């Protein structure tokens, strides 16, 4: 769990909203929030999906990711399927190392600085970024600029997601979630 002190009166907050679309039907929503307070930036997102794969399934993703001075400090990802825990990944910066715990298994160590994570794709066009940290699986993903403000993210399993930006803001993404493929489409909610 992230622990941090925030002086909310000085904090700048930005929210982004997306519909999740599968087979031309809205099956869920994603709300992402970015809070900046001094040199700390807290990113949070909540995704709720109801899809019929074999039977109706509810999937909920909750992310909390804290950067300080442009470097990842902590990341918490909890995924629930039909209200039951499905996956948990926690990342903690400890001195110059990152301790990555997945589903209560033996922690992994990552030694390189992490200055860009997947959640930032909702807010910031990755114009000069070639890799990003996947908070969900604790791995480094490759980012490839495709031109015309579009990017391809390739995860550790080789799955490709496409991200499309206008004026530096994410407007659409095509996501390969393994068992289900879907699109994120920015909405005008405020």
Q: For each of the chain's 190 residues, which pLDDT tens digit applies?
A: 444 444 556 789 999 999 999 999 999 999 999 999 999 999 999 999 998 878 888 999 999 999 999 999 999 999 999 999 999 999 999 999 999 999 989 999 999 999 999 999 999 999 999 999 999 999 999 999 999 999 999 998 899 999 999 999 999 999 997 777 899 999 976 4
Find, among 93, 99, 94, 136, the residue nearest to 118 by Cα.
136
State pTM to two decimals.
Answer: 0.91
Identify whether the C-beta of residue 7 lies closer than 8 Å to the C-beta of residue 27: no
Domain ranges of the chain: 12-186
Question: 113 — phi, psi (to 5°)?
Answer: -60, 145
């Amino acid at each position: 769990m992230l622990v941090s002190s925030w002086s909310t009166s000085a904090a700048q907050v930005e929210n982004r909203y997306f519909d999740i679309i599968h087979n031309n039907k809205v099956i869920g929503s994603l709300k992402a929030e970015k809070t900046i307070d001094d040199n700390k930036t807290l990113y949070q997102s909540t995704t709720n999906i109801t899809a019929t794969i074999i039977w109706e399934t509810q999937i909920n993703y909750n992310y909390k990711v804290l950067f300080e001075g442009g470097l990842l400090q902590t990341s918490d990802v909890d995924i629930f399927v039909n209200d039951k825990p499905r996956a948990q990944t926690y990342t903690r910066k400890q001195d110059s190392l990152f301790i990555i715990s997945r589903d209560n298994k033996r922690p992994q160590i990552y030694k390189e600085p992490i200055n860009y994570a997947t959640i930032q794709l909702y807010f910031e066009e990755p114009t000069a970024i070639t890799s990003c940290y996947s908070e969900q699986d604790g791995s480094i993903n490759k980012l490839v600029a495709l031109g015309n403000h579009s990017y391809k993210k390739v995860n550790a399993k080789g799955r490709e997601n496409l991200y499309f930006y206008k004026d530096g803001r994410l407007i659409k993404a095509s996501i390969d979630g393994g068992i289900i493929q879907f699109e994120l489409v920015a909405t005008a909610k405020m």
